[in-house]
């Protein structure tokens, strides 16, 4: 049985409202998108949603007690909270430069967590 979902595309500022038809876990139709990126976004969001992770880790010897970090690429949405929980136990030592890898291949997902600012 097919189900329909309404979602807004976030791939560009147009924010198209799309109607997505899903059958047996697969996207079979997308309406309302004005470009092909909308259809790809809808398919990805329905079948395997992904998100960036932005958080902080503790830092010793830094000018602040926490270092902002971000995932280098997107993570599976269902793993974001597990990654955040893992990062609560991470402490790094200053100095750190923007882009330094803080955690390589977090939880075996193939995504590095990197510093998003310098910290002296």
Neighbouring CB atoms inside 10 A of 48's CB total 10
The set of residues, in sequence order, having a beta carbon less than 8 Å from that of 105 and lying 6+ positions away, is 111, 112
- pLDDT at residue 3, as a whole number: 95
The set of residues, in sequence order, having a beta carbon less than 8 Å from that of 43 and lying 6+ positions away, is 27, 30
- pLDDT at residue 1, as a whole number: 86
- pLDDT at residue 75, as a whole number: 97
Q: What is the largest CA-CA distance in the chain?
A: 58
User: Consecutive sets of 10 residues in the chain, 120 residues long: mean pLDDT of each?
Assistant: 94 95 94 94 94 98 97 97 98 98 98 98
* pTM exceeds 0.75, yes or no: yes
CA dist list (Å): 61 to 29, 91, 115:
54, 11, 15
Q: Which domains are assigned to the chain?
A: 3-48 (2.20.25), 54-115 (3.10.530.10)
């Amino acid at each position: 049985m097919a189900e329909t979902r309404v979602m807004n595309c976030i791939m560009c500022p147009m924010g198209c409202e799309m109607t997505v038809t899903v059958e047996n876990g697969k996207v079979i139709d997308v309406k309302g998108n004005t470009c092909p990126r909308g259809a790809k976004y809808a398919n990805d969001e329905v079948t395997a949603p992904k998100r960036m992770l932005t958080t902080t880790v503790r830092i010793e010897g830094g000018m602040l007690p926490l270092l902002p970090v971000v995932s280098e690429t997107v993570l599976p949405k269902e793993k974001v909270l597990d990654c955040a929980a893992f990062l609560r136990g991470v402490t790094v030592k200053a100095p750190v430069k923007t882009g330094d890898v803080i955690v390589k291949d977090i939880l075996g997902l193939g995504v590095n967590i990197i510093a998003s600012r310098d910290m002296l």
